Each structure stands twice: as C-alpha cells, then as structure tokens.
Amino acid sequence: MIILSSTILYFYTRILLQNEVEEGLYSTEARVVFALENNEIQFSLPPVTEIKKVDLLKSQVLKDTIIYDPSQDEMELFRELSSFKNINGENYQITIRNLVVESENILIAIVISNFIVFLLVFLILFYFNTKRNLNLWKPFFKNLEQMKQFSLTSSAPIQLIESDVLEFSELKTEIETLTGKVKADYENLKQFTEDVSHEMQTPLAIIQAKIDNIINEHQINDKQFEQITSIQKDIQRLKQLNKRITILTKIDNKQYTNVTPINLSDLIYEKVNSYKELNINTIKYTSSDVLLVSMDAFLADVLMNNLFSNAIKYSNKEDKITIVSTKTSLIVSNVGKKTLVHPEKLFNRFYKESNKNNSTGLGLAIVKKICDLYQFKISYKFEANHHIFSIEFQN
C-alpha cells in the first residue's frame, strides 16, 4: 500500500511540476515575442534563451534535452520549447529552456518523505494496536495458564482474573462453574468408590467366617466340601478384585503422592525369599547393580507382586522364572508354550487370554498404570519360548 501510494504521488507530482515548467516556458516565449514586436533589443542567453533569425518557419517543438551548462560545468537536463514566429517581416526561432533537474530532486524528496510518513504511521499504529491487543488478551492467557495448572486433587479453587471484554468475562464465569462442578463430581465419585470398597469388606468377612464355622462345627460330605471350597475361592477372588479396582481408582485419581527413593533390588530379594518359603523354588534373581527408583513405596510393592505373581501363575511348577535387574531396568521372564493371540491387549483391564487360571484380569493393567504414572517404559515380547516383560526406569 505504501509503495503504491508513493508511486502514484510520484507521477502525479511529476506531471504537475512539468506543467509548471512548460507554463514558464510559454510565458518567457510570450515576453520575447512582445519585445521583438516592439523592436526592443533582445539578447540570447544560452542555454536558457536563444533567439535567431531563420529562413523558414517550422512547427513548434516541446521536448526534454540535455545541454552543457557553463555555469554548472556539466551536462544538465532541460525542458525546451522551440517556436517559430514571423515578427515585423522577419522569421525568428525562439528557443526557451528551463532546468528540470531540481524538479526531479523535489519529486524524489516528496516520495521519500511520503514513504517515511507512511512507515512511521504504520509503526506507531502497529505498536499501539499490539500493545492494546496484548492488554485485551492478557486476562485470557492468564486464565488459560490457570486452566493448564488445574488439578482435581487440589483443594484450592481455580484462580481466574477479570476482563473488560464481555466474552472473556463470560468465559471466566463458565469455567469457574464447570471446574466447580467437575471437582464436586470427582469428590462424590471418589467417596462412592471408597465407601463401596469399605462396605464390601464387611459382608465378605462375615461370609468367610460363617463358612469357616460350617466347616469346623458340622459334618459335611465331600461334595459339600468341594462346594464350600469353591465359595471360599470366589470370596478370595472377589476380595482381590475389590482391592485391585480400588488401587486402579486411586492411581487414576492421583492419590499416591508420597514419592520416596526405593531400593527395588532389596525389595525383589525379599519377594523371592518369601516365594521360596512357599516352596516356590524355581525363581532365579540376578542383579548387576543396585536398582533405585523414586516412587510410592506401596505402589512399588504392588508392581513387584503383580509382575512376579503373573509369571508364577502362568508357569508350571518345574519351569524356571528368571528375574534380572540392572541400574535402570528390570526383566521378568517365564517359560511359555506359545505366543499370545492378542499381545496388544495384554495390559487392558479384565483381558485374559484364557479362563483356565483364576485371574481377575487386572494385575497387568495395574502394572501398566503404575508405569504410566511414573513414566516408566514397559514392554512385552515372546522370544525363545519365553514370555518376557521389561521395564525401563529412566526417561
């Protein structure tokens, strides 16, 4: 826009100046003719004015020409008017010239000034508009930052600032209403989950106690014993299911916030020795370095229990289970006859490849949740007839 307007101004001013120069030429010519008609002596003043007698009259010529100017000692651009007149019976050629170099300088000065003015106006408007826009949008970006830091687990309400813009003010009100409702729903859901988990423990314990009384105080046949044993297993499975769902819910709600350095090498040694006391002697653990991890101690225990119990559950009694740890990783492998049908679903909740084992389908889902919570990288592969789980603890 600046370039276009400057170009138009340049040519428009150039035409005006040229018209002024030509008007001056015609005016000078008229004075010379008047002087000749009145027999006044006229002298030529090259290169500005030249008067000479000629034999023939020709057409008037108006043009630009370059002539040596002795006053400047250089070639200069002139606007030239050559006219032929018959005055008092004599033919004259009257040549009038006007220097146009200064006109070009004026044109350039005007264009440059115009460009500078436009540029300054643009910069000033840009500065004030930018500053004004920043002030207008400042509450929006501040509130956006508060929304990014919003946490359901925090007891403090979201802190938003007011804005003079009506839309931003309405957005602030809606966000406060929405976050307040979300927090209330979250607290209600968390309380409901905890209440259900707690209330389920009591009837399960009562059922278990009554079954124990039946076994201890009454004579039962083999069929009844099998049925009662099956009920006990279902009760234990229900307890495990309740416990694991509670753990998953608490992980989702980010309730495990007590992060401390945990020596996983020592914890693994304790777990292996505990399994050996239960006559599970096929577990072999080797460590090349101490494995230290920052996480919640309870979740570290759950992580190890679920990994090892999964390997034991899906192995025969005589099959060896190998546990290897380094400074930054843990590998657990157990013998397997064939690869999984859907390994991509292995960490999904309630997914089980087979119903042969009495599994809740939540053990590996909890393992994955814990790894995601602390940004550990867990992977699975089937290689050389072994199911291999690997965890990388360094990000």
Q: What is the pLDDT of residue 80?
A: 81
Q: What is the pLDDT of residue 84?
A: 87
For 216-228, letters b (16+ CB in 10 Å) and e give: eeeeeeeeeeeee
Residue 120 lies in a domain: no
In this structure, the dihedral spanned by the alpha carbons of residues 231, 232, 237 and 243, taken in order and rounded to 10 degrees, is 130
Q: What share of the chain is helix, strand, coil (3-state, %, to 5)?
A: 55, 20, 25
Cα separation, 376 vs 33, whole angstroms: 104
Cα separation, 67 vs 47, whole angstroms: 7
Domain extent for 48: 2-106
Q: Let me know whether 368 and 282 are in one domain.
A: yes
**Of 92, 68, 66, the residue nearest 80 (C-alpha):** 66
Residue 40 lies in a domain: yes
Residue 151 lies in a domain: no
Describe the crossing of helices 166-217 and 222-252 by its angle, rounded to 10 degrees: 160
User: What token pair was written down for 304?
Assistant: 């190890």
Residue 136 lies in a domain: no
pTM as predicted: 0.51
Residue 306 lies in a domain: yes
Domain boundary among the residues 55, 75, 106 is at: 106
Residue 36 lies in a domain: yes
**Of 303, 317, 318, 311, the residue nearest 268 (C-alpha):** 303
Q: Let me know whether 231 and 296 are in one domain.
A: no
Q: Are 354 and 374 in contact (CB under 8 A)?
A: no
213 CA to centre of own chain: 64
* Total domains present in the chain: 3
Q: Let me know whether 300 and 360 are in one domain.
A: yes
Residue 116 lies in a domain: no
33 CA to centre of own chain: 82
Cα separation, 156 vs 154, whole angstroms: 6
Full 3-state SS string of 222-270: HHHHHHHHHHHHHHHHHHHHHHHHHHHHHHHCCCCCCCEEEEHHHHHHH
Q: What is the pLDDT of residue 12?
A: 73
Q: Are 207 and 239 in contact (CB under 8 A)?
A: no
Q: Could you tell me which residues are beta bridge partners of residue 66?
A: 77
Q: Let me know whether 185 and 217 are in one domain.
A: yes
Q: Let me know whether 17 and 76 are in one domain.
A: yes
Question: Within a 13 Å sphere around the CA of 136, how many CA atoms are in the beta-carbon half?
Answer: 9
Residue 81 lies in a domain: yes
Q: Which residue has the tokens 């292996």?
A: 272
Amino acid at 314: Y
Cα separation, 151 vs 157, whole angstroms: 9
N- to C-terminal Cα separation, the chain? 53
Give average pLDDT by consecutive 10-residue segment, the chain, 395 residues. 66 72 70 67 66 85 78 72 84 80 62 79 82 80 82 74 81 84 78 68 75 75 78 76 76 78 88 80 85 88 86 81 88 82 75 62 83 88 86 78
Judge residue 148's burial from the number of C-beta atoms within 10 Å of its C-beta, 0-12 exposed, 13-18 middle, 19 or more buried.
exposed
Torsion angles phi and psi, residue 84, rounded to 5: -120, 125
Judge residue 79's burial from the number of C-beta atoms within 10 Å of its C-beta, 0-12 exposed, 13-18 middle, 19 or more buried.
buried
Q: Let me know whether 203 and 288 are in one domain.
A: no
Cα separation, 234 vs 204, whole angstroms: 10
